[in-house]
Amino acid sequence: MKLKVKRVYDPPAKTDGLRVLVDRLWPRGLSKDKAKIDHWLKDIAPSDGLRKWFAHDPDKWKEFKRRYFTELDKGPERVSELRALARKGTVTLLFGAKDAQHNNAVALAEYLVTKHRTPRGG
């Protein structure tokens, strides 16, 4: 599984592979044509309650990840589509937040790498 994480407002690159938006809300001021998104997986994003609680506060980062991982564990079907896409090649997880270090795409990439490794050859 080759994962990248990138801000959706950054220019698309050929090396992005499949571009997957993992935010629940569409990024402000960005047209679908300009975004060049291959898939929009709204359901893999944190719940509205968790997203609002976190509010991209770095002091809440560790607890946000714990809560988000719990949400993902409770709904494995949310992750299965992304895992299937990742088996085909590079996947770039796209996010709209200004903070490139503390956002759901970074947390999701960590979750996929540490908790849900894709079996080799599969």
Res. 15: pLDDT tops 60: yes
Q: What band does 13 get if pLDDT is binned at 50, 70 and 90?
A: very high
State the Cα–Cα distance between residues 64 and 102, nearest whole angstrom: 9
pLDDT at 93: 98
Res. 9: pLDDT tops 90: yes
Res. 118: pLDDT tops 70: no
Write out pLDDT tens, residues 66-92: 999 999 999 888 899 999 999 889 999
Domain regions of the chain by residue span: 3-114
pTM of the model: 0.90
pLDDT at 116: 55
Res. 121: pLDDT tops 80: no
Spatial contact of 14 and 101, defined as CB atoms under 8 Å apart: no
pLDDT at 67: 98
Residue recorded with tokens 């592979």: 17
